Amino acid sequence: MADTTKQAIPGAVGPRRSPWPRIRWGHVLLYVALIAFAVLILMPFAYMVSTAFKTRGEVFTQPVQWIPRQINLDNFRDALAAYPITRYFWNSVIVGVSVTVLNLVTCSLAGYGFAKFPFMGRNLLFGIVLATMMIPLSSMIIPLFLVVKWLGWVDTYWGLIVPAGTSAFGIFLMRQHMASIPDDLLDAARLDGAGEPRIFASIVLPLSKTALSSLAIFIFMWNWDSVLWPLLVATGDRYRTLPLGVALFESSYGTNYPQLMAVALLAMLPVLIVFLVLQRNFVEAMTLSGVKG
């Protein structure tokens, strides 16, 4: 028996009760909550951006002025003139990219080794690797510095890059991901006569694209933030990285908040861009890598 009320609208396909799209009130509430939270999350960011374009007098006003009276680019210009910010920026880029590439290589290899090859002592070694995550840098920084000094790498790119060349978290992440690669695939390749390195390069790596992307983001982001190590290793403008540049800026123009915010804004743009570009891969990787523990 056809329910004629459902066919009140001519041309409508299928049963419909009314011409209006069903408003899922639950969803609306959800959107409201999500947007509210998004505003909270972005507020400090907005505060920073707006301050970067203000003059000193406009900074601490009551009520808070979100939009500066005029867009003032002086802060950026003055900040760039005061210190070689671009130099620090390039140092951070060089170090960041190198460290990321090194990590991608070492962690993917090691992750694969730990995941798929039950060699003797594997669990012990993996345990030791994980245990190194439980020691803060401040604890081992002097002996580490002495090692780097012995290698002659103080105040060089090598000293900034190589000690950060691998990471326990990275190995953990890659291992988790690679453990889920089907053994049959690998065995099939072996039966075909492929050597282990070949299998790694042509099967394992391509399957790990998303995990590698997420690792790249993490490593780049952590390295970009690194301040304690570069403080000891680098002196002066030559190898100074961006966070140190921000710290130097705070040291000399501390309460000049607009300029400080301008520098901070410049300092965070690269990571933000890298993240926005890679973020789709990254989230897929989190889903696939399975935080199964």
Partner 1 sequence: MSTTVDPDRTIDVVGVAYHRPRLSHMQKRNLWGFLFTLPALCFFLVFAIIPIARTFYLSFFTFSVVEKPVFAGWENYRALLDDQRFHASLVNSFAYVFMTYIPVAIIALALALALNVRLRAVGFFRTLYFIPVVMSWVVVSAIWKMIFNRQGLMNAFFLEPFGIAPKNWLTDQDWAPRAIVIMSVWKEVGFFMVVFLAGLQQIPSDYYEAARVDGASGWQLFRSITMPLLRPTLLFVSVIGMITGLQVFVPQWVMTQGGPVTATLVMSLNIYQTAFVFLKGGTAAAMSVVLFLIIGSVTLVQFWLNRLGAND
Partner 2 sequence: MTNRGAGPRTGGHRVDRRTLAKGAIGAAATAALATSLPVAPAAAQDKTVIKFWTHTHPPMVELNKALVADFMAANPDIEVQYEIIPNNEFATKMLASMGTGTGPDIINMDDAQMRSTYIPKGLVQEVDPANMGYGSLDDLKAAYIPTALEGSTVDGKVYGVPSEFNVTAMAVNDAAFTEVGLDPKAPPADWTAVTEQGAKLVVKDGDTFTRRGFDFTYLHAGWYHNLFGTLLLQTGGRVVAEDGTTVTVAEAPSVEALHIWYDLIWKEPKIADPTVANQDATVPYQDFLDGKVAMMPFNPWGMGLITSDSVVADTWSIAPLPQKHPGSAGTPEATPVSADGAGPVTPLYAYYWSVNALTTDEKKKAAAFKFIGYISSFPGRWLKESSFIQPKTGWEDSEEAKELPFFEVWSSEMLKGQFLPVTPAGEQVDTLMKSALEQSLLSGEDPQEALDGVKPQIEAAIASS
For partner 2, the binding residues (CB under 8 A) are 56, 94, 97-98, 101-102, 104-105, 142, 145-146, 149, 154-158, 161, 182, 185, 188-189, 192-194, 201-203, 205-207, 209, 212, 231-232, 235-237, 239, 244, 247-248, 250-255
Cβ(211)–Cβ(289) under 8 Å?
yes
Chain positions 239 to 258 lying near partner 1, rule: CB under 8 A, are 243, 246-247, 250, 257
For residue 196, give the nearest of 123, 112, 102 by alpha carbon: 112
Comparing CB distances to partner 1, the nearer of 60 and 90 is: 60
The residues near 201 (Cβ < 8 Å, ≥ 6 apart) are: none
CB of 126 to partner 1, least distance (A): 9
The residues near 102 (Cβ < 8 Å, ≥ 6 apart) are: 161, 162, 164, 165, 166
Q: Which does 101 bind (CB under 5 to 8 A by kind): partner 1, partner 2, none?
A: partner 2
128 makes contact with partner 1 (CB under 8 A)? yes
The residues near 97 (Cβ < 8 Å, ≥ 6 apart) are: 220
Q: How many Cβ atoms are within 10 Å of 48's Cβ, its own excluded?
A: 16
CB of 71 to partner 1, least distance (A): 19
Comparing CB distances to partner 2, the nearer of 125 and 162 is: 162
Comparing CB distances to partner 1, the nearer of 23 and 41 is: 41
Comparing CB distances to partner 2, the nearer of 16 and 87 is: 87
Chain positions 155 to 214 lying near partner 1, rule: CB under 8 A, are 162-163, 165-166, 168, 171, 190, 196-197, 200
* Span from 14-22, 77-85, 93-101, 280-288 in contact with partner 1 (CB under 8 A): 280-288
Q: What angle do CA 116, 121, 125 make, to 5 degrees?
A: 85
Comparing CB distances to partner 1, the nearer of 91 and 243 is: 243
44 makes contact with partner 1 (CB under 8 A)? yes
